[in-house]
Amino acid sequence: MKPAFDFFDYDEDLLEQALESSFFFLKDNWRFLESLGFEFKTQCAMIDVIIKFFSDKEEYEKCSELLDIKNKIISTYEMLPGADSVSSSSLK
């Protein structure tokens, strides 16, 4: 099954390896995206892309773990001074 990345040519095996590696890296290092300077919404969008990939592969346990990571990012953002409350649906 080809994932939802049809907008450019890619090596499917390489993409799968990259997203698998990203998943395992982010499990223990979810604050890494912030340390690279990615804005809050960009971090969530990146997680959403990985969730979509694993959802297409029907690997729902990984989707659940990624959703937990996304919720940690949202919680961290909401604790910042002056930050608004954010729902997952408002990020799209």
Q: What confidence tens digit (pLDDT) does each residue in 15-49 have? A: 899 999 999 999 999 999 889 999 989 999 999 99
Show the tokens assigned to 41. 């919404």
Show the tokens assigned to 44. 């969530």
Gyration radius of the chain's alpha carbons: 14
What pTM value is reported for the model?
A: 0.76
Is residue 3's pLDDT more than 80? no
- Give 81's pLDDT tier (boundaries 50, 70, 90): confident
For the chain, give the number of residues: 92
Contact 43, 15 (CB under 8 A): no
Contact 47, 66 (CB under 8 A): yes
